Amino acid sequence: MSFDRNSPYNALPPLPLELTDEWAARVETRRVLKEVIVASRELAELKGAGGAIPNQQILLTGILLQEARLSSEIENIVTTNDELYRANAGADLFMQASPHTKEVLRYREALWHGFQELSRRPLGTNLFVDIASIIKDQPMRIRDLPGTRLTGNDGRIVYTPPEGEERMRVLLGNLERFIHTPTGGLDPLIKLAMMHYQFEAIHPFTDGNGRTGRIINILFLIDKGLLELPVLYLSRYIISRKTQYYESLRRVTENGDWENWILYMLTGITETARDTRNMIMSIRDLMDAMTSEMQEKAPNVYSKDLLELIFEQPYCKIRFLENRGIARRQTASKYLKALAEAGLLHPVRSGREIYYINTRLIDVLAG
C-alpha cells in the first residue's frame, strides 16, 4: 500500500499488542537491543541522582523550565532565560511577559499537570487532551475536521495525518492499549519510541502535537517506573537534531524504517539522561559551594532554608522569604542585601521590585 504525503494517511497501521515475529524483526534488531542496554543504564543512573538534591522542588523549577524552553523552541517559540525566570517569579511579571514566554510557562504547567494526574488516571486520550489544552491555552479536542497537514520549511506538504474522528478514536484506543500492555516483553524504551512515532503520526490535534507528544514521552517513563521526577531533558537533544527528528519520523511512514527511528530515540535518552544527571550533580556541587561561601561571608544570614530558597527561586525577592517564614520584610530585605554584598546574588531592579538573581545557578541550568 503506497503512502502519499498529500492525502490523509488513513491506512496508518495500529501498533502491535502482541509481539509477532514480523514485528520483532523490525523493532528488536541487534543494534536496537544493544542501545537499549546503554540507555537503560544511563536512565537508571539519572533516577538515582535525583536523590542527591535534598529539595526536589529545586530540580523541578530549573530543569522543567529548561525543558519547557527547549521543547517550545522546536516550534520556534523563543524566549530568553531572563524573561522566563522573571515571569516565573511573580504573577505581575507573568502578565507582562511576552506571548512566547507565557507559552513556555504553559508547557511547564502542562508537564507538571500530567505528572500529577498520572497517580490518578491512566496515560491515555483524556490526559492527552488535557495536556494539549494547557499548552494551547484553549480547550482542544480530537480533530474532527479535515485539513491538518504538516509542511516543511519550504511550505511543501511532508505528511497528512489520518482523518475522521472515528478512525482517530480507534487509533488512539490502540495507542492507549499499547502503552498499557506488555507486548510480549518488548522493552519499555523501544515502546517509548514506537509510541512517540504513533502519536505524531495520528496527530490528534490541529496544533501542539509535537509538544504534547514530548510531554507524553516523559510521563511514559514515569509511568513505567524508569524515572521518578519529570526531569529528563529530552527536548534539548531533539532540538539539536531537529532535521534528523523529522527525517526519522518520515522514514517510518515511508519505508517502515523503525530501526533508525528507535535508535534515534534511544541515543536521545542516553545522551539526555547523562546530561541531566551531570546537571543535577553540578547543581549539587554549586549548593555545597554556596553553602560554604554563605557560612563564611554571611554567617548571620545563613540558613538551610534560605540556601534552598535561592535555588528554588533563582530570581528571588523579599516576598519569597516572607512566604517561606524565613524572616519578616525588613530582615528579609537585609538578608538579601547581605547575600548580594557577599557576591552570592545579583540584585536587579525591575519596576518597584528588586530581584536577587542566583546567576551561578542560571549559568548551570543554561548549560
Ligand X SMILES: Nc1ncnc2c1ncn2[C@@H]1O[C@H](COP(=O)(O)OP(=O)(O)OP(=O)(O)O)[C@@H](O)[C@H]1O
Instruction: Kindly list the residues in this chain that would bind ligand X in the complex (CB under 6 A).
Output: 74-75, 150, 158-159, 200-201, 207-211, 213, 246, 249-250, 253
Task: Output 77 or 336, the one with its CB closest to ligand X.
Answer: 77
Task: Output 263 or 283, the one with its CB closest to ligand X.
Answer: 263
Binding partner at 90 among ligand X, Mg ion, none, C-beta below 5 to 8 Å by kind: none
Q: Decide: helix, strand or coil at residue 72.
A: helix
**Residues 6+ away with beta carbon under 8 Å from 282:** 364
Task: Output 133 or 313, the one with its CB closest to ligand X.
Answer: 133
Phi-psi region of 161 (alpha: psi -120 to 50; beta: other; left: phi over 0): beta
**Grid cell digits, residue 198:** 504513533
Q: Tell me the closest approach of the beta carbon of residue 206 to Mg ion, in angstroms.
A: 9
Task: Output 128 or 159, the one with its CB closest to ligand X.
Answer: 159
Q: Does 137 bind Mg ion (CB under 5 A)?
A: no
Residue 296 host element (H or E): helix 258-297
Q: Decide: helix, strand or coil at residue 353.
A: strand
Task: Output 251 or 319, the one with its CB closest to ligand X.
Answer: 251
Binding partner at 272 among ligand X, Mg ion, none, C-beta below 5 to 8 Å by kind: none
Task: Output 207 or 257, the one with its CB closest to Mg ion.
Answer: 207
Q: Tell me the closest approach of the beta carbon of residue 201 to ligand X, in angstroms.
A: 5
Dist CA 106 CA 111 (whole Å): 9
**Residues 6+ away with beta carbon under 8 Å from 296:** none
- Answer yes or no: are the C-beta atoms of 97 and 83 closer than 8 Å: yes
Chain position whose Cβ is nearest to Mg ion: 207
Q: Tell me the closest approach of the beta carbon of residue 102 to Mg ion, in angstroms.
A: 16
Binding partner at 150 among Mg ion, ligand X, none, C-beta below 5 to 8 Å by kind: ligand X
Q: Tell me the closest approach of the beta carbon of residue 207 to Mg ion, in angstroms.
A: 4
What counts of helices (H) and strands (E) characterise the chain? 17, 5
- Interface with Mg ion (CB under 5 A), residue from 137, 207, 223, 293: 207
Q: Tell me the closest approach of the beta carbon of residue 253 to ligand X, in angstroms.
A: 6
Dist CA 204 CA 214 (whole Å): 14
Q: Return the range that interacts with Mg ion (CB under 5 A); candidates 115-123, 175-183, 200-208, 306-314.
A: 200-208
**Residues 6+ away with beta carbon under 8 Å from 9:** 3, 159, 160, 161, 162, 201, 253
Q: Tell me the closest approach of the beta carbon of residue 55 to ligand X, in angstroms.
A: 31
Dist CA 9 CA 108 (whole Å): 31
Which residues contact Mg ion (rule: CB under 5 A)? Answer: 207
